[in-house]
Structure 1
């Protein structure tokens, strides 16, 4: 059985000092279970988190450069992230696609660079409200997936995040999530063969302690990419406990 992954995406929140306090509170309250926890923190907070997270809780970045090194002011390389202890890197989040105009090709380049340095990319895909209202969510999302995995190996996590459900309080139903997760699974099998069986597919979009268990009970949903509810330790504990 595939281990669930709870990927906590803080977005642009928490200073290094606040990150340390959060990690120390988590250390006090977390009990072991079968779910993997990973914290996707701002780059400046990663070192502080690495020193204070509970044992077994992984570290991740919210983005990674498509370049190995060089004259790319403001970017953070995969090697830098690995050196500070990161295991994961989110690529292609809907906010990066929208606000920074990242294309599927950009996402694939970042994912390849992450893998080349030993990071596991969490590749995000998902449709906006207009696409869903037209009933084209499956075709749209699979198109994004195909473009975002060009040249990318199977050491990857996929996060399905319907854009209309991110930070809006609206959540796709468990059946909505499974519809896309199953379609993504089939596409991954076509691309990677039997290696696709071990690829985790996460749901992201207004995940909370009271809905995560229902979402993750679906056969092709293997955890969640969580935004707002990741910022408070009691919510994280609630989600963690719901998956026991």
Structure 2
């Protein structure tokens, strides 16, 4: 049978026949561009979970991973998870941190949602999961989100049997904002009160404003701070 050339307006003309998908089918390998379909499935997954990352369905988590993996130029841990379902907590935590730090607000939201889902998942690939006894899994089970943030720090031995204890030694606390960190971990409150007293006495209280951006930089220079799911998790250096 004679085959006519494809129309130049055919959106699938560059896609090999074996890679064509049926309507509604999602390609988790990233071979077929599907930005609209991925967005629709992610919306369905987040809606089904009520916006709670821990309740994201399994199929939704892998589609989120596919969407995020598509945003970086080389295959990594997110790509591997999207394709195989294999959970590598450390690799995924660190790759998601890159998206959260350098992506737009939507990217950060997706990274946080996927992170919350992965905290509850066993390591390994489907059907061959870990027994949950690794230090990483014990830490996630016992400490949840703060431990996930801890995994994103550099220069920690995630294979060490002392990993959970090191977390306990280094984790200072989790805070709602950088301002709360300043108020809790420094003497800024007393400093502000003293300035206010002097300013009111001399009548120039309207002329003194603290440089909060500089103070925030001081916080980041003093401690390791990881922002995850609306919290700032603080660790000793």
Could you state the TM-score of these two structures normalised by the residue count of structure 2?
Answer: 0.27
User: Which structure: larger Rg?
Assistant: 2
> Which structure is higher in RCO with an 8 Å CA cutoff and minimum separation 6?
1
| Larger relative helix fraction | 2
